[in-house]
Amino acid sequence: MSQVDIKVLDKGFVRLIDHMGSDLSVVNAARVSFGKVKTTFEENDALLVDYLAAHEHTSPFRHTALTLHVKAPIFVFRQWMKHRIGSEFNEISGRYVEFPEDEFFVPEQFRRQAKVNKQGSEGSIDPAHQPRALESYLESCRGAVAHYKELLGLGVCREQARCVLPLGLYSEVYWTVSLQAVAHFIRLRADSHAQWEIQQYAAAVRAAVEPLFPVSLKALLAVPKG
């Protein structure tokens, strides 16, 4: 299998490592109830997949799996790791490795706090304030990393020194997940109400997964939100 590697934000990525199954796997998982197995995916099978998704007969979609290697800022993973059902995460550990100096997310622009959606953002701050916002942001991140390196130099253990690092620091995970759980993640995190940064990851996940399960993913994403 050729590796799919999608760049996200300034230093992140979504990388497809492995997968199990296809649209045909979903169909056969459903048809086994009738003692039937197919070897090719046909037009009427797409109708069955649509029926399964529309009527929430979701178990056949869980007879699939994908493993993705993801590099993202910690604040993105804070949201991502709420998706626990049908998912498994293994993350790089600051107890075992020393974080590099410039591995933190730097926004291209700074957004205003939304007036209606209290947890979200909208538009950009005053253009005249963008340079100072960036300067302040970089000062904070670089200062935190400098203190982290200083603590390590003083002999402080990695598991304590890492506590000063910023939420914008990049981390890495392996994410193994069923197709149903992938669709649920995309539906929630590609939504316009989700934070912009995680929307970019949801789009990348979709781009990595869709070629493998085009019919099934389309069917799952077409179901209206409950």
| Domain shared by 133 and 177, yes or no | no
Residue 83 is labelled as binding a ligand: no
What is the tens place of the pLDDT at every residue in 149-184? 999 999 999 999 999 999 999 999 999 999 999 999
216 within 8 A of 61, measured Cβ to Cβ: yes
**pTM of the predicted structure, to 2 decimals:** 0.93
Answer yes or no: 62 catalytic: no
Residue 153 is labelled as binding a ligand: no
Chosen domain end from 120, 149, 164? 164
If one counts the domains in the chain, the total is: 2
Q: Specify the pLDDT at position 157.
A: 96
Catalytic residue among 15, 31, 142, 189: 189
| Domain shared by 35 and 85, yes or no | yes
Residue 19 is labelled as binding a ligand: no
Residue ranges making up the domain that contains 34: 4-92+170-222
| Domain shared by 177 and 66, yes or no | yes
Residue with tokens 């002999």, as numbered in its chain: 155
b/e burial code for range 113-147 (CB count within 10 A of at least 16 → b): eeeeeeeeeeeeeeeeeeeeeeeebeeebeebbee
Residue 95 is labelled as binding a ligand: yes
| Domain shared by 153 and 122, yes or no | yes
| Domain shared by 78 and 177, yes or no | yes
With respect to residue 103, please indicate whether it lies within any of the assigned structural domains: no
Average pLDDT over residues 88-111: 91
| Domain shared by 42 and 147, yes or no | no
Residue 225 has pLDDT above 90, yes or no: no
- Tell me the three state secondary structure of residue 79: helix
| Domain shared by 121 and 14, yes or no | no
| Domain shared by 144 and 76, yes or no | no
The burial of 50, by beta-carbon neighbours within 10 Å (0-12 exposed, 13-18 middle, 19 or more buried), is given as middle
Residue 94 is labelled as binding a ligand: yes
